[in-house]
Structure 1
Amino acid sequence: MAQSGSSSGNLFVEGGAGTLKLLAYLALAVVLMVADHRGGYLDTVRTSAGLLTGPLYRLAGAPAQLAHTLSDHFTTQRTLLAENDVLREQLLLANARMDRLAGVQVENQRLRELLGGTRGLQLNVQLAGLIDIDLDPFRHRLVIDAGSRRGVAEGLAVIDGEGLVGQVLSVTPMNATVILVSDPSHAVPVQVVRTGLRAIAYGTGRTDRLEVPSIPLSADLRVGDVLETSGMGGRFPAGFKVGTIEQLHPDDTRLFAVAEARPAARLDRGGEVLLVWSAPESSADPVGPPAPAGRMREPAASGENRP
């Protein structure tokens, strides 16, 4: 019984001390609140406490901030990749359009050169495209996409923007075959622009070489002289450039000279040619450009003299 009384007394004592401590803390808190409200004495303490707890707050919020930053980064990266793909596609499309425009510009320039080759001449012209080319050493031919249905006839002269290409050899309703001036079996009457000397230029089987034989040694002929069609024989209209003399040498007999000339036409290049034939004086304009192909009269219908 004595032990039990001692135990209850200890509990009472401990309970009294706890109550006194609580009352002391409450009194101190009240004093501090009143002092802070009256004089603001705890501002410095709060500031110091904020400085100490600020890093803790940032550390606690770091995972969420990191997750938000990574999310923004990946979203921005996906957006940039999508925009990059769109811009790359637009760039490729723009480059393709520019390439096409460049091709159209080159084609326009080539057509201007072709039509410019007949400017000032009393000629009718017809544009034709190339289908096939045969540059065998013993056979130089072109196949064009114009035939008898478009008024093409055998013997018509064929030119490009630089000079004489050849003449029509055979015709079908849809196509025609052109023999080039470089063909070994082809010959064209020419004259020297500078002196008017007449001669015959033969093909050699090479697209970069024509041969003009049987020239008198006394003839006034020089390297660099330009050869053009003379109009003799009525096969080729006069005035078209044929080539330029690059070499002169005597033949085997030493009685005549032989001239080697480079063809003026681009025989192994280009995609279009012009068919030309003489126009009646009443229907031709000697100073203006030739009539468009769709409006000019066909040789068979006009009754003109054809080669």
Structure 2
Amino acid sequence: MPSYAGPAPARPADVAGTLRLLAYLALGIALIVLDHRGGWLVQIRDKAEWVTEPLRWLAGLPGRIGNTVHDDAATRTRLAEDNRVLRNALLISGARLARLQSAANENARLRGMLGAAERGELDVQLAPILNIDLDPTRQRLVLGAGSGSGVRLGQVAIDAGGVLGQIIDVKPLTSTVLLLTDPDHAIPAALARNGVRLVVYGRGGRLELANIPMSSDVKVGDSVVTSGLGGRFPAGFPVGTIAALRPDDSRAFLVGDLEPAAQLDRGREVLLLRVNESRGLGPGAGGSKGATPTESASQASTSQSPAPSPQAPTR
């Protein structure tokens, strides 16, 4: 049985470690007591954080830059997509608005035409325009209404502004309107202001007054209406407004430029005056039904019989 030798002697290293531990504990306790009483450790910590804050900001800079670039790229992509969607929506809305505006304008024009017919207590029919021929030598319209719809040769075509022309050819489903501006067309007219008789000639896209005596009371701005002579065109329908007056080549008469009252170059429908013998409307009222387009103008020109004024200058 081994003999008991007693406790092992303490080594110097263990004693030194124990003493250091006790010293650290005492120092820690002392610092806690001092900090609790004076708060100087908090001040030291604040100053240390102030010194290390730039280092912390600099260390986090790459991450922040990466996040910013990522967010900016995502935002740019989202904005580009939103811009594309909004642009397409704007184009679609613009197209719809244009169609609505066109429909509104057409509706207003039709209301004006029908309103003019109702105010004048006219018996009319609405005919759509199928084709146009506005060549300087041929001013004509093709309508989508013919003899099957009751269209007759010589019927007068009007719109909300005034006289457009007359029917010169009728087929079962279509008909042709000779416009006032056709070179083969002439219409007896008169000034609305004083009743002076005139003749309006088509000049291929425009209207002209010819053989106006120098002594006639004709002024720029006067309204010209149908006179009713010849029986082809009913009296009182607007033809145009005198835009300019000038002497002709002989210096014995005046020539006038006429601004048409009807919208000859626009619209998709026209109004055709139905024949009404009791009111004197239509191709058979007051004249031959077989009159040619210029026959009524010839009759008006003969009845007017313009002669040079004695005071008119001669060449």
Q: Give the TM-score normalised by structure 1.
A: 0.71
Counterparts of 1:51-200 in structure 2 under 5 Å? 51-200=50-199
Once the two structures are superposed, what CA deviation does each residue of 1:3-33 show, in whole Å capped at 9, x if it has no partner?
xxxxxxxxx8777656654543343234323
CA gap 1:258/1:117 in 2 versus in 1, 3 angstroms: farther
Residue of structure 1 in register with 2:256 after alignment = 260
Number of matched pairs: 271
Once the two structures are superposed, what CA deviation does each residue of 1:90-126 show, in whole Å capped at 9, x if it has no partner?
3333333333333233223322332344343232222
Contact 1:203/1:211 (CA < 8 Å) preserved in 2? no
Contact 2:143/2:175 (CA < 8 Å) preserved in 1? yes
**Equivalents in 1 of 2:201, 2:125: separation in Å?**
26
Gaps of at least 5 residues in structure 2 are 1-10, 290-315
Q: Secondary structure at the match of 2:123?
A: strand
CA gap 1:140/1:18 in 2 versus in 1, 3 angstroms: same
CA gap 1:70/1:128 in 2 versus in 1, 3 angstroms: same
Contact 1:148/1:173 (CA < 8 Å) preserved in 2? yes
Q: Secondary structure at the match of 2:274?
A: strand
User: Does residue 49 of the first structure (1) align with residue 48 of the second (2)?
Assistant: yes
User: Does residue 277 of the first structure (1) align with residue 270 of the second (2)?
Assistant: no
CA gap 1:19/1:236 in 2 versus in 1, 3 angstroms: same
Counterpart code for 1:244:
T
Q: Secondary structure at the match of 1:233?
A: coil
Contact 2:158/2:165 (CA < 8 Å) preserved in 1? yes
Once the two structures are superposed, what CA deviation does each residue of 1:54-74 show, in whole Å capped at 9, x if it has no partner?
444444444433333333333
Picking from 232, 237, 240, the partner of 1:235 is: 232
Q: Secondary structure at the match of 1:207?
A: coil
Residue of structure 2 in register with 1:209 after alignment = 207
Contact 2:125/2:274 (CA < 8 Å) preserved in 1? no
Q: Percent identity?
A: 45
**Equivalents in 1 of 2:229, 2:53: separation in Å?**
107
Greater RCO, 1 or 2 (C-alpha within 8 Å, sep 6+): 1
Contact 2:163/2:239 (CA < 8 Å) preserved in 1? yes
Contact 1:122/1:278 (CA < 8 Å) preserved in 2? no
Q: Secondary structure at the match of 2:236?
A: coil
1:168 deviates by: 0.9
**Bigger mean CA offset, 162-171 vs 74-83:** 74-83
1:207 deviates by: 1.8
Counterpart code for 1:236:
F
Contact 1:207/1:268 (CA < 8 Å) preserved in 2? no
Cα RMSD (Å) of the superposition? 3.5
Once the two structures are superposed, what CA deviation does each residue of 1:229-248 show, in whole Å capped at 9, x if it has no partner?
12233322221112334326
**Equivalents in 2 of 1:75, 1:146: separation in Å?**
62
